[in-house]
A = this chain, B = another copy of it.
Amino acid sequence: MKIQQTIKRNRLGLLFQQGSFGIEKESQRVHADGSVVTTEHPKVFGNRSYHPYIQTDFAESQLELITPPNKKPEDSLRWLSAIHQVVLRSLPENEYIFPLSMPAGLPSADQIKVAQLDNPEDVAYREHLVESYGKNKQMVSGIHYNFQLDAELIRTLFNAQTEYQSAVAFQNDLYLKMAKNFLRYQWILLYLLSATPTVDADYFKDGSPLQLGQYVRSLRSSRYGYVNAPEIVVSFDSVEKYVETLEHWVASGKLIAEKEFYSNVRLRGAKKARELLQNGIQYLEFRLFDLNPFEPYGIGLKDAEFIRYFVLLMIWLDETADQQGVELGKARLAEVAFEHPLSQTAYRQEGEEILNRLLAMLNEINAPTEIVDIVTEKLAQFADPAQTLCGRLVQAIEQAGGYQQLGAELAQRYKAQAFERFYALTAFDNMELSTQALLFDLIQKGIKTEILDENDQFLCLQFGDHIEYVKNGNMTSHDSYISPLIMENKVVTKKVLQKAGFNIPQSVEFTSAEQAVASYALFEGRAVVIKPKSTNYGLGITIFQQGVANREDFAKAVEIAFREDKEIMVEDYLVGTEYRFFVLGDETLAVLLRVPANVIGDGEHTVAQLVAMKNDHPLRGDGSRTPLKKIALGDIERLQLKEQGLTVDSVPAKGQSVQLRANSNISTGGDSIDMTDEMHESYKQIAVGITKAMGAAVCGVDLIIPDLTRPAESHLGSWGVIEANFNPMMMMHIFPYAGKSRRLTQNVIKMLFPEIR
């Protein structure tokens, strides 16, 4: 298989670098001191029988976090970050994720609970592992790195050769070459990336093989790690031989199942090895990698890229390791694993040679300079073992006073980091917060999600065969096409709501004062506001809150309005407070009061200081990357202060409410206050009725209500509809400034997938 020649001749460098990447990461849930917990897998993560992102491995305490496959390693790492943020924020307050592969503070064996899976076979398998290896070994964690070559590349390489007749046979041998060469040279990755230099003595059944203070490069990849008995040799010569030898060990009872074969490379693409003969190998799973404790999620992008090009080198090389080479590689791995992390490796020369060949390959395929830099850096680590991951880790353990201490410290730090912007999924920060909140819940509950268009907030959700699309957090198939069109058109909305019998404020426009006054009878006794059609700073507005009492006052108000504009409006004036009702289906899920930007005096600080203090609130920021917006101190706010006889330097009295805006929008620094429990049920029912009249499934209804505690009556004095909004905002309900959080995104999921209990 002369791959590099074909790539060079056909200039396939770009195609060669395509592929698909997925990451599985195991880790232990631990206490604040780093010791493994004995609690059950948290119920909040839904059902493990289908969860695509959050699983358990051997034990209840051992999380397995799985990214979907992505075309770019960086996207897999974004998913890994998002899944971690979901898990860390969902864990009980006193639980953390241990950042090291070797567990610390293990409970006694009888306290370690095997994962409570639904499938009895899965449970039986784990019981068998306990028998064969003991529980402690099973508690070791690592990273599995899945890699698939681009189908076009394989097709093109196959077309460019004459040796193989069968495309499947060619594909199998291509992946086998990658697998065998990987096994031959895996020790290099171990040297550079291993991170299991030590473990507690009580991890070993029969006493620690390490002397006091002895560090090694990788306990996990040594024979004290989670490895098969040395006699279990499986052939990688061909898929046929692989299947044959693997089936032999299972038949002989040395392995309870094929999956007990813990090779650092697994051939993937079939449930049973034998099916590979038919379907061909689809991708490889590389299982060598220790958790990198310096990365919050166990692996960094540079290392993920390094591994990617390293495995590509494994097919680029002209030679293919034979079984002897594979065994040699495994022996070297064991040997290097037991070297001291700060010592030079015995095979430095081979390591440097391979990385130099990798650099040559990068040059041939026009790889990005970033990866050249990464490889160059790794190459230098052969001369300076202290710079290897394990070298640095040993130093950190010494500094921390022990590896459990280091792990506990890092676990706490990473959990705290995950809460810094607790309302966001930082890896997906270029999407709206509401979509991030939805994504959070989808990951938590295990609904398979594909981001179809990040800029457009377009998601594809799947549960079994059931597919749903969501845009902007709550635009779904459950609303009919005509609903947003009705709501978009204020005239039509009014007609529809009026026809359905809801209290709608009326407005009449006039182009002459004479005409307006001639219509006086229309308004007599009604609470109305008279205003110029285009208002500026409230000039020309008269409000008859108690109803128009006489023609003279009305005529005067009309005249005042006409001073500001050629057209005026006489509108029903609704006395009361505006509330936003978030309706989904048959229920008002949340009611919110929006209060104009304000501060409350304390008799000590100036307005400017009070604003700065209020702006320190974690929810406040630019208003797009945060749920609430910082209060500005611009012209409008200063004018508002002036009207209250204040400046930014005034010191308001204790308890004095200082208003900084006339409008109550959240986007101008307003406060959001949840009033769901305070609101009388009758208004919630009205909001549901309005939503139904709009033909909508999800709707934001704005009502003006004078007294939210009194039952609704059927006249404008009791309540009136201001607006019905499609795609209503959710963040202000999910993260209100005050009052209870309403996790509406979960309701959206329930609406879309009622079959999930």
Nearest B residue to A517, CB-CB: B11
In the bound complex, do residue A471 and residue B482 qualify as a contact, i.e. CB atoms below 8 Å apart? Answer: yes
The minimal Cβ–Cβ distance linking A670 to chain B, given in whole angstroms, is 28
Is A534 on the interface with B (CB-CB < 8 A)?
no
CB of A633 within 8 Å of the partner chain: no
Q: Say whether A518 faces chain B, with CB atoms less than 8 Å apart.
A: yes
Copies in the complex: 2
A475-B485 in contact (CB<8A): yes
CB distance from A450 to the nearest CB of B (A): 8
Asked, given contacts A452-B496, A458-B489, whether A519 binds B481 with beta carbons under 8 Å apart, the answer is no
Query: Roughly how many angstroms separate A391 CA and B259 CA in the complex, as a whole number?
Result: 105
Chain B, Cβ-Cβ closest to A155: B521
On whether the beta carbons of B480 and A477 are closer than 8 Å, the reply is yes
Q: Which of A689-711 contact B (CB under 8 A)?
A: 695
> Are B482 and A480 neighbours in the complex by a CB distance under 8 Å?
no
User: Contact: A481 with B476, CB < 8 Å?
Assistant: yes
- Using known A-B contacts A489-B453, A491-B453, A492-B452, determine if residue A520 contacts B481 with beta carbons closer than 8 Å: no
> What residues of chain B lie closer than 8 Å to A471, measured between beta carbons?
482, 485
A218 to nearest B CB, angstroms? 38
From B453, B479, B520, give the contact of A480 (CB < 8 A): B479
Is A522 interfacial (CB 8 A cutoff)? yes
Find residues 366-383 in chain A having any chain B CB closer than 8 Å to their own CB: 366
Would you list which residues of chain A between 449 and 490 have a CB under 8 Å from chain B? 452-453, 456, 458, 460, 469-471, 475-486, 489
Residue of B nearest to A727 (CB): B481
A644 lies within 8 A of chain B by Cβ? no
Contacts of A486 in B (CB 8 A): 458, 469
Q: Is A10 an interface residue (CB 8 A)?
A: yes
Task: Determine whether the beta carbon of B517 is less than 8 Å from that of A458.
Answer: no
Nearest-neighbour CB distance to chain B for A421, whole angstroms, equals 28
A366 interface neighbour in B13, B15, B453, B518, Cβ under 8 Å: B518
Q: Which residues of B have CB within 8 Å of A499?
A: 460
A495 part of interface (Cβ distance < 8 Å): yes
Partner of A475, one of B477, B482, B518: B482
- Distance in angstroms from A482 CB to nearest chain B CB is 5
Min C-beta distance of A68 to chain B, whole Å: 14
Contact string, A144-155, partner B, CB cutoff 8 A, digits 1/0? 000000001100
Nearest-CB residue, chain B, relative to A458: B492
Asked whether, in the complex, the Cβ of A492 is within 8 Å of the Cβ of B453, the reply is yes
Interface assignment of A324: CB less than 8 Å from any CB of chain B: no
Contacts of A453 in B (CB 8 A): 489, 491-492
Docked complex Cα distance between A477 and B495 (Å): 17
Q: Is the CB of A519 within 8 A of B15?
A: yes
A156 interface hit (Cβ, 8 Å): yes
CA A469 – CA B495 in complex, angstroms? 12
Given contacts A453-B492, A489-B458, contact A469 B12 (CB under 8 A): no
Which of chain A's residues 528-569 have a Cβ closer than 8 Å to chain B? 551
- Residues of B within 8 Å of A475, CB to CB, are 481-482, 485
Sorting the interface of chain A by its residue count into under 10, 10 to 19, 20 to 34 or 35 or more gives 35 or more
B15 and A522: CB pair below 8 A? yes
Contact B456 A518 (CB under 8 A): no
The answer to whether B477 touches A482 (Cβ under 8 A) is: yes
- Nearest-CB residue, chain B, relative to A17: B518
Residue A360 interfacial (CB < 8 Å): no
- B476 near A482 with CB under 8 A, answer yes
Docked pose: A14 CA to B483 CA in angstroms: 36
For A476, what are the chain B residues with a Cβ–Cβ distance below 8 Å?
A: 480-482
Of B10, B366, B496, B522, the contact of A521 (CB 8 Å cutoff): B10
| A window 1-17: CB within 8 A of B | 10-15
Interface flags, A1-44, vs B, CB<8A=1, else 0 = 00000000011111100000000000000000000000000000
Closest Cβ of chain B to A602, distance in Å, is 48
- Smallest CB–CB gap between A453 and chain B, Å? 5
Of A478, A491, A514, A522, most B-chain CB atoms within 10 Å:
A522
Set of chain B residues within 8 Å of A519, measured between Cβ atoms? 14-15
A38-56 at interface with B (beta carbon < 8 Å): none
Q: A162 in the interface, Cβ–Cβ < 8 Å?
A: no
For A460, list chain B residues within 8 Å (CB): 495-496, 499
Within the complex, the shortest CB–CB distance from A418 to chain B, in Å, comes to 30
Chain B residues lying within 8 Å of A152, measured Cβ to Cβ, are 521-522
Report yes or no: B13 in contact with A518, Cβ–Cβ below 8 A. yes
Query: What is the CB-to-nearest-CB distance from A362 to chain B, in angstroms, rounded to a whole number?
Result: 14
**A449 and B456 alpha carbons, distance in the complex (Å):** 37
Provide the residues of chain B in CB contact with A481, threshold 8 Å.
Answer: 475-481, 483-484, 726
Q: Which interface residue of A489, A517, A524, A551 has the most chain B CB atoms within 10 A?
A: A489
Q: Indicate if A119 sits at the interface (CB-CB under 8 A).
A: no
Question: Closest approach, in angstroms, between the C-beta of A303 and any C-beta of chain B?
Answer: 26
CB distance from A460 to the nearest CB of B (A): 8
Whole-angstrom distance from the CB of A657 to the nearest CB of chain B? Answer: 41
Verify B14–A495 contact, CB threshold 8 A.
no
Q: Is A211 an interface residue (CB 8 A)?
A: no
Q: Are B11 and A518 in contact (CB under 8 A)?
A: yes
Nearest B residue to A726, CB-CB: B481
Selected A-B contacts with CB under 8 Å, 23 pairs: A11-B518, A12-B521, A13-B518, A14-B519, A15-B519, A156-B521, A452-B491, A453-B492, A456-B492, A458-B486, A458-B489, A458-B492, A460-B495, A469-B482, A470-B482, A471-B482, A475-B481, A476-B480, A477-B480, A477-B695, A478-B481, A479-B480, A481-B726
- 10 more contacts with CB within 8 A, not counting A14-B519, A480-B481, are A10-B520, A11-B517, A11-B520, A11-B551, A452-B492, A456-B492, A469-B496, A477-B481, A478-B481, A481-B483
Which 5 A-B pairs give the minimum distances between C-beta atoms?
A: A479-B481, A477-B480, A156-B521, A14-B518, A452-B492
- Chain A residues proximal to chain B, CB less than 8 Å: 10-15, 152-153, 156, 366, 452-453, 456, 458, 460, 469-471, 475-486, 489, 491-492, 495-496, 499, 514-515, 517-522, 524, 551, 695, 726
